[in-house]
Amino acid sequence: MSSASTSQAAEEALRSGRYTAQVEQDGREAQALGARGVPFVVIDGRVGVSGAQPVETFLAAMQRAWALEPTPKVSKDAPVCGPDGCEIPAGRLPDAAWARFDAQLELGGV
């Protein structure tokens, strides 16, 4: 999709209000988790992280979310993650940022 068509699609979505209900619901959920500004990241719908934080803070938040409900939710083609890491299905490569994060975890850098 070209940048012009992407821009037009975004303008049409804003004009039509197509995503208004979902955006408002996301805002309510974030506020319930303590959001008062941006950036604010919601992890698994249960744990919120406010502000620009170091990787260690996000890792702790992910571990807290996992402790709240340790059973992974998996869709048919999604990677499977557990306490020992994630399995990436054959043919699906994580983007460079995830690859670096995974490498840091393996090396004990996080």
Average pLDDT rounded to a whole number, residues 93-104: 54
pLDDT bracket for residue 99 (50, 70, 90): low
Number of H helices, E strands in the chain: 4, 4
**Which pLDDT does position 101 carry in this prediction?**
54
Three-state DSSP class for residue 57 = helix
Token pair recorded at residue 13:
């979505």
Token pair recorded at residue 44:
């698994």
**Which pLDDT does position 109 carry in this prediction?**
46
Question: In angstroms, what CA-CA distances link 59 with 14, 16, 38, 63?
Answer: 34, 38, 19, 6
For 30, residues 6+ apart whose C-beta sits below 8 A from its C-beta are 40, 42, 48
Q: What is the pLDDT of residues 29-76, one digit of tens each?
A: 888 888 888 889 888 888 889 888 999 999 999 888 888 866 555 555
Give one word for 35, left, alpha or beta, with left for phi > 0 and alpha for psi -120 to 50.
beta
Average pLDDT rounded to a whole number, residues 1-10: 79
Q: Which of 13-17, 43-47, 97-101 has the least mean pLDDT? A: 97-101
Token pair recorded at residue 80:
């499977």
**Which pLDDT does position 102 carry in this prediction?**
58
Could you tell me the residue ranges of all domains in the chain?
71-110
